[in-house]
A and B are shown apart, each in its own frame.
Chain A
Amino acid sequence: MPAGPWGQAPPAPQAPAPRPQPRPVGLTRTDFIAAIRRNRRNTALLCLALTLVGVAAGGGIGWAFGVLADPDPASPLPPMFLISGAAAMLAFSAVWTLIAVFAGDRIVLGITGARAVGKDEAPVLHNVVEEMALAAGLPKPRVMIVETAALNAFATGTRPEKAAVAVTRGLLNALGRDELQGVVAHEMGHVANNDVLYMTAVGVLVGLIVVASDLALRSMRFVGAGGRRSGDSRKGGGGAMVLAAILVLLAIGLLSPLMARVVQMAVSRQREYLADATSVKLTRNPLGLIGALQKLDAAPVRWADASRAVQHLFIVNPFKKFAADASALMATHPSIEQRIERLKALG
């Protein structure tokens, strides 16, 4: 045996130190009704903040257009355009939010082709949904099935009283009762945590910011002509104003959608972890959901004709095959390995 530098055998290679266990998310709460109240408040605040960002972007674009149309610093156009841009943004966001909140569940159910089933048609599914509603202390949601071989599930409804839980036929056939209970509890978790309202609101406002940025970028092609024309015919102040307008448009066009999407996806992933934790709290049995996630991961059938508009609603993303890189900034869901790891930490 080779001696070490101090005449001893070298120490055996140590096993890598165990990774610090991730902190369970939101597990201390057992009072869902209070949690929903808190969540509503957070949603309102977040919506207000994102609306302000959207209105500011609308105003900025309006102002920049005004400057480009008439770079004279004394011109009345820029402030007029600023106000009308902001007002248009506000009106647009109000209408869009109303549609999303009041018709969102019908739109989602229509897009996915989910169909309500009676208790005689799917007795076990009905029993499991009712059990989980009792565990959460919430009204029993509508029970729906999507006729596809893919393995997936989702919840919708912006209020617990209007909620629906849908599972695919493939999932119903592939999972045992405990695993089905874990999945249904995850969806009940989305309902209990009011995630549908939360993500609908975030989705609307992010969409709005993306539209604004698109507008800003499209307008850039007119800037070249406008800038040159103003350079020789106007006073020096106009040139600086035009430069500022171009910078504002560029900032709105390039940065805001990126930031908004990153925030949205981070929120989405956090809500998935929270729903997993809620699922365990309802069933008191992490093994059911772990088994279900493993089967979902191994399933060969992806849901090819699912719509991207609703991908964040599902229990696993219907498009991506999850690998280690799935936790990239733009993923709607954490990777299944990471979710299972956290679930094991709970058990």
Chain B
Amino acid sequence: MSTTGWIVVAAVAFVAAAVVVLYNALVAGRNQVEAAWRQIDVQLKRRRDLVPNLVEAVKGYMGHERDTLENVIKARNAAVGAAGGPREGQIQAEAALSGVLGRLFALAESYPQLKANENVMQLQEELSSTENKIAFSRQHYNDSVMAQNTRVESFPAVLVAGALGFAKHPYFEIAEQDREVPQVKLR
């Protein structure tokens, strides 16, 4: 074969090897994002299971907060409905549940009788620990998403990522209204 022929063969082999390396890195990144999401899912499911128990346990003490309790149940049911659906919808429903739960915890501070109920305290400890775990697994999910999105958008992967079926992943963000500090009225 001529020299030019060999150069062409070498160039094609080099490009093919580069695509293989890129593809494998992208697959590993996508699987990591999926694994991170499943970790959040485990914690979110645990929270959805714990919420009705907590509402049931505090109902007797917090009769005046029926609106808040109903909102919690509504948000929880919406989160159950969104589970298994598209990821953006799940993220929204779970963020809304986080918001109303935060409000419930803040309100519970003004019911000292709750602190005397061991069952409620245990549930609250479990639930706030689950909140922590959701926060940390969300942090890991977002870290993984950032690494993968950077990978997908970086040159030269950006040339082939779309064609190979790799897209950017959505971040798990908390909606703006849920970041507000809950209003606590003094009475």
Question: Which of chain B's residues have a CB closer than 8 A to the CB of A134?
Answer: 39, 43, 133, 136-137, 140
Contact A137 B36 (CB under 8 A): yes
Given A31-B144, A31-B147, A33-B32, does the pair A284, B133 have CB atoms closer than 8 Å?
A: no
Question: Which of chain B's residues have a CB closer than 8 A to the CB of A282?
Answer: 136
Q: Judge whether B143 is part of the interface by a CB distance below 8 angstroms.
A: yes
For residue B39, give the distance in angstroms from its CB to the closest CB of chain A.
6
Question: Which of chain B's residues have a CB closer than 8 A to the CB of A284?
Answer: 139
Interface centre among A33, A130, A134, A282 (most CB of B within 10 A): A134
With the chains together, A130 CA to B129 CA distance in Å? 10
Q: Judge whether B154 is part of the interface by a CB distance below 8 angstroms.
A: no
Q: Judge whether A135 is part of the interface by a CB distance below 8 angstroms.
A: yes
Q: Which of B43, B133, B140, B146 contacts A137 (CB 8 A)?
A: B140
Question: Which of chain B's residues have a CB closer than 8 A to the CB of A33?
Answer: 32
For residue A193, give the distance in angstroms from its CB to the closest CB of chain B.
15
- Could you tell me the dominant secondary structure of chain B's interface residues? helix
Question: Which of chain B's residues have a CB closer than 8 A to the CB of A34?
Answer: 147
Contact A30 B143 (CB under 8 A): yes
Question: Which of chain B's residues have a CB closer than 8 A to the CB of A137?
Answer: 32, 35-36, 39, 140, 143-144
Residue of A nearest to B31 (CB): A33
Q: Which of B32, B136, B147 contacts A131 (CB 8 A)?
A: B136
Q: Judge whether B113 is part of the interface by a CB distance below 8 angstroms.
A: no
With the chains together, A34 CA to B143 CA distance in Å? 12
Q: Judge whether B132 is part of the interface by a CB distance below 8 angstroms.
A: yes
Q: Judge whether A163 is part of the interface by a CB distance below 8 angstroms.
A: no
Contact B147 A135 (CB under 8 A): no
Question: Which of chain B's residues have a CB closer than 8 A to the CB of A30?
Answer: 143, 146-147
With the chains together, A136 CA to B43 CA distance in Å? 15
Contact pattern, A 26-44, Cβ under 8 Å of B = 1, otherwise 0: 0000110110000000000
Residue of A nearest to B36 (CB): A137
Contact pattern, A 317-346, Cβ under 8 Å of B = 1, otherwise 0: 000000000000000000000000000000
Given A30-B146, A30-B147, A33-B32, does the pair A135, B129 have CB atoms closer than 8 Å?
A: no
For residue B143, give the distance in angstroms from its CB to the closest CB of chain A.
4
With the chains together, A137 CA to B136 CA distance in Å? 9
Question: Which of chain A's residues have a CB closer than 8 A to the CB of B136?
Answer: 131-132, 134-135, 282
Interface centre among B35, B43, B129 (most CB of A within 10 A): B129
Question: Which of chain A's residues have a CB closer than 8 A to the CB of B35?
Answer: 137
Q: Judge whether A307 is part of the interface by a CB distance below 8 angstroms.
A: no
For residue B120, give the distance in angstroms from its CB to the closest CB of chain A.
17
With the chains together, A137 CA to B140 CA distance in Å? 6
With the chains together, A42 CA to B137 CA distance in Å? 28
With the chains together, A282 CA to B139 CA distance in Å? 8
- In the complex, chain B residues 25-59 whose Cβ is within 8 Å of any chain A Cβ: 32, 35-36, 39, 43
With the chains together, A36 CA to B143 CA distance in Å? 15
Contact pattern, A 269-292, Cβ under 8 Å of B = 1, otherwise 0: 000000000000010100000000
Contact pattern, B 133-164, Cβ under 8 Å of A = 1, otherwise 0: 10011011001101100000000000000000
Contact A130 B133 (CB under 8 A): yes
Q: Judge whether A127 is part of the interface by a CB distance below 8 angstroms.
A: yes
With the chains together, A33 CA to B31 CA distance in Å? 12
With the chains together, A327 CA to B155 CA distance in Å? 42
With the chains together, A63 CA to B137 CA distance in Å? 58
With the chains together, A109 CA to B151 CA distance in Å? 40
Contact A135 B137 (CB under 8 A): yes
Residue of B nearest to A34 (CB): B147
For residue B159, give the distance in angstroms from its CB to the closest CB of chain A.
21
With the chains together, A34 CA to B136 CA distance in Å? 19
Interface centre among B35, B136, B143, B146 (most CB of A within 10 A): B136
Query: Can you sample 11 A-B contacts with CB below 8 Å?
Result: A31-B32, A127-B133, A131-B133, A131-B136, A132-B136, A134-B39, A134-B133, A134-B136, A134-B140, A137-B144, A284-B139
Using a CB–CB cutoff of 8 Å, the interface residues on chain A facing chain B are: 30-31, 33-34, 127, 130-132, 134-137, 282, 284
Q: Other CB < 8 Å A-B pairs besides A134-B43, A135-B139, A136-B140, 14 of them?
A: A30-B146, A31-B32, A31-B143, A31-B144, A127-B132, A127-B133, A131-B132, A134-B133, A134-B140, A135-B137, A137-B35, A137-B39, A282-B136, A284-B139
Q: Closest 9 A-B residue pairs measured CB to CB?
A: A135-B136, A30-B143, A31-B147, A134-B137, A137-B140, A134-B136, A127-B129, A131-B136, A131-B132
